[in-house]
Chains A and B, each alone.
Chain A
Amino acid sequence: PVLPEGWTGEKDFKSLGQLSGAVERSIEPVGPHFLAHARRARHRRTFSEDDRI
């Protein structure tokens, strides 16, 4: 939407809330994307760190 007049936020960003819900579930340890996830999880890398490698 168009920015309303007089809207302000710190560095143009305003935090309003947090994620409300999540459920613990098991991912299936199968497929190339899971293996990438497992690699990140085990080396404690973030997505952007992983992209650079």
Chain B
Amino acid sequence: MAENGDKQTGPEPSNRVVIGVTFGNSNSSIAYTVDDKAEVIANEDGDRQIPTVLSYADGDEYYGAQAKAFLVRNPNNTVAYFRDFLGQEFKSIDPTHCHAAAHPQEAEGTVSFTIKDKDSEEDASTVSVPEISVRYLRRLFGAATDYLGKKVTSAVISVPTNFSEKQREALISAAKEAEVEVLQLISDPVAAVLAYDARPEAEVKDKIVVVADLGGTRSDVAVVASRGGMYTVLATAHDYDFAGVHLDNALIEYFAKEFIKKHETDPRSNPRSLAKLRAESEATKKALSLGTNAQFSVESLADGYDFSVTINRIRYEMVGRKVFEGFNRLVEGVVKKAGLDVLDVDEVIMCGGTSHTPRIANNFRGIFPETTAILAPATSTVAINPSELQARGAALQASLIQEYEAEDIEQSTHPAVTTVKHISNAIGVTTVGPDGEAFTPVMAAETAVPARRTVHIPAPKEGGDVLIKVVEAGTHIKVTKPEPKEKEEKEEDEDDSDFDSDEEEEETREKIWKIGSALAEAAIRGVKAGSKVEVTINVAADLSVIVTAREVGGKGGVRGNLKAP
């Protein structure tokens, strides 16, 4: 067993074969890196999104898409949606999604399933969730090993941000038992950000990123501050009521009603018919993400009747409207939770299978200002496949740390290293703009220290002596209402405007800098006309500041220290 305490050392760093893994409730993926680029690996069925399902028939084990197909004919010996049960107590799990598959039970304190997993034996065996995970992971790692032609030894696995310590430990020991060393567990949203930032054309910028991970049975949204390529999660939200299965359910409802109109039996009243309905509804949903029309057809759906009908995307968007609106509220809620406004968000990264849905991306487009990039296939040409982001991010991280000793990784990820101060206000310099004093940020708020930033500021046209004023600043949202014609002013709350029926003139909201306390002044003398001044701000871990300013191309310059508070 994994927990018997003997500290088995992993393979030598030089002998490692590493992959990135996402282990989801609904689907899992594996990826590897080649020439610093991440590639997602297809298993022997040709699937890159491999269903997290394990099934037994006549003693043979099936996983992935093959196992998922058995949900129709062999549901009792098929285990699905078990990832979130790992490391959990029986009373805290939600077995809803397992209704159509093997049911979870309590056995010896752990969550277990009773399945016939042995050849022709009549009595079923009780298999615990950790054991199910081991068996599934073994198949997953096996698929990667087959593809790479080398035994996979190590992996980085991405997990949700609210995965408890117990769940993490359970996952690590399950992987270990499946003979793969876990180098690191990284969180899902950060894996997605890394997958984008690691592209060669990406440049490291200070930005606020919202990662909307819309999955099968859950949706997770995180606000991430990306500062100099380092990521800090500012807020997260987890939702189990608005996810892919709820869109499937909406379609199931719709198709079932159509079927009843024709044949007067409800296909939802029979488990097998419902399983067929569910499988085909999911397939139709996927088709509607790609095309504007899709065919739904099931042979012998109920009472021996075949059923075939087409549905267009507009109809689907009406059917799923409630769920789509749920996603909007989820994203708006988490931005608010981070103490931010939609205007503060620079990028929205959409990941998870449900992010393929064009309507969701278009709705997000409507929530955020035009300057915000919505990275989804429907709204961006540079978007990466949302289903592959986390596996790619994990693979990239795996390739970065594969040379490290396990001990080094542990020390580097220790809270003493990761918990640092983040500045609350932006630091920058004031410049003279067309309308008075303006603020040019040098270091954004929420930057982890120690940090260093440099900017080039144009000096006054005529040159001469220049004063560099270093100040702190915060942002706030300025709401400019159009000239009020007859309505009296009462819309303090910005949500009010949504309910106004005659909303012809929209108020404009913009982000403006509010200059706070002054930090330092420096004089640069004799700057040439049309020249620029370079200002470097270096904040140390104790919040002391070093300011350096000089003319670009000039020598010397001014340098000064601010004491730590």
CA distance A29 to B411 in the complex (A): 11
CB < 8 Å neighbour of B467 from A7, A20, A33: A7
Q: Which residues of the other chain, A, contact B411 by a CB distance below 8 angstroms?
A: 42
Is A3 a contact partner of B525 (Cβ separation < 8 A)? Answer: yes
Is B422 a contact partner of A17 (Cβ separation < 8 A)? Answer: no
CB distance from A36 to the nearest CB of B (A): 8
Is A28 a contact partner of B521 (Cβ separation < 8 A)? Answer: no
- State the main secondary structure of chain B at its contact with A: strand
Is A14 a contact partner of B419 (Cβ separation < 8 A)? Answer: no
- A13-46 contacts to B (CB < 8 Å): 13-35, 37-42, 46
Does B465 interact with chain A (Cβ within 8 Å)?
A: yes
CA distance A12 to B557 in the complex (A): 9
CA distance A33 to B190 in the complex (A): 13
Does B59 interact with chain A (Cβ within 8 Å)?
A: no
Is B420 a contact partner of A25 (Cβ separation < 8 A)? Answer: yes
Q: Which residues of the other chain, A, contact B469 by a CB distance below 8 angstroms?
A: 1
Does A11 interact with chain B (Cβ within 8 Å)?
A: yes
Q: Which residues of the other chain, B, contact A14 by a CB distance below 8 angstroms?
A: 520-522, 560
Nearest A residue to B557 via CB reads A12
Q: Given contacts A16-B518, A31-B231, A35-B401, are A7 and B523 in contact (CB under 8 A)?
A: yes
CB < 8 Å neighbour of A27 from B194, B448, B466: B448
Nearest A residue to B158 via CB reads A30
Is A41 a contact partner of B519 (Cβ separation < 8 A)? Answer: no
Q: Which residues of the other chain, B, contact A12 by a CB distance below 8 angstroms?
A: 522-525, 558
CA distance A12 to B227 in the complex (A): 31
Q: Given contacts A1-B431, A15-B561, A15-B562, are A29 and B184 in contact (CB under 8 A)?
A: yes
Does B15 interact with chain A (Cβ within 8 Å)?
A: no
CB < 8 Å neighbour of B418 from A15, A19, A29, A46: A29
CB < 8 Å neighbour of A30 from B191, B432, B446, B467: B191
CA distance A45 to B232 in the complex (A): 22
Interface residues on B, range: 35 or more
CB distance from B515 to the nearest CB of A (A): 12
Is B423 a contact partner of A19 (Cβ separation < 8 A)? Answer: yes
CB distance from A47 to the nearest CB of B (A): 5
Q: Given contacts A12-B523, A15-B560, A16-B520, are A23 and B186 in contact (CB under 8 A)?
A: no
CB < 8 Å neighbour of B419 from A20, A26, A30: A26
Nearest B residue to A10 via CB reads B560
Query: Among the interface residues A23, A29, A41, which one has the most CB atoms of the partner chain B within 10 A?
Result: A29
CB < 8 Å neighbour of A19 from B190, B519, B538: B519
CB < 8 Å neighbour of B194 from A1, A22, A23, A31: A31
Is B562 a contact partner of A30 (Cβ separation < 8 A)? Answer: no
Is A30 a contact partner of B452 (Cβ separation < 8 A)? Answer: no
CA distance A10 to B559 in the complex (A): 11
Does A2 interact with chain B (Cβ within 8 Å)?
A: yes
CA distance A29 to B231 in the complex (A): 8
Is A18 a contact partner of B564 (Cβ separation < 8 A)? Answer: yes
Is A25 a contact partner of B560 (Cβ separation < 8 A)? Answer: no
CA distance A33 to B472 in the complex (A): 25
Is B425 a contact partner of A20 (Cβ separation < 8 A)? Answer: yes
Does B480 interact with chain A (Cβ within 8 Å)?
A: no
CB distance from B465 to the nearest CB of A (A): 4
Q: Given contacts A1-B467, A28-B233, are A23 and B422 in contact (CB under 8 A)?
A: yes
Q: Which residues of the other chain, A, contact B401 by a CB distance below 8 angstroms?
A: 35
Does B531 interact with chain A (Cβ within 8 Å)?
A: no
Nearest A residue to B413 via CB reads A29
Is A9 a contact partner of B523 (Cβ separation < 8 A)? Answer: yes
Does B430 interact with chain A (Cβ within 8 Å)?
A: yes
CA distance A34 to B187 in the complex (A): 14
Nearest A residue to B459 via CB reads A2
CA distance A41 to B451 in the complex (A): 12
B residues sitting closer than 8 Å to A (CB atoms) are 184, 186-187, 190-191, 194, 197-198, 204, 224, 228-234, 393, 397, 400-401, 411-413, 415, 417-425, 427, 430-432, 437, 446, 448-450, 452, 460, 464-467, 469, 472, 516-525, 538-539, 543, 545, 547, 558-565
A residues sitting closer than 8 Å to B (CB atoms) are 1-4, 7, 9, 11-35, 37-42, 46-47
> Could you jot down 30 A-B contacts, CB within 8 Å?
A1-B467, A2-B460, A2-B467, A9-B521, A11-B560, A12-B523, A13-B558, A13-B560, A14-B560, A15-B519, A15-B560, A15-B561, A17-B517, A18-B563, A19-B423, A19-B427, A25-B421, A26-B233, A27-B420, A28-B230, A30-B191, A31-B190, A31-B197, A33-B228, A33-B229, A34-B229, A37-B417, A37-B448, A40-B450, A41-B417
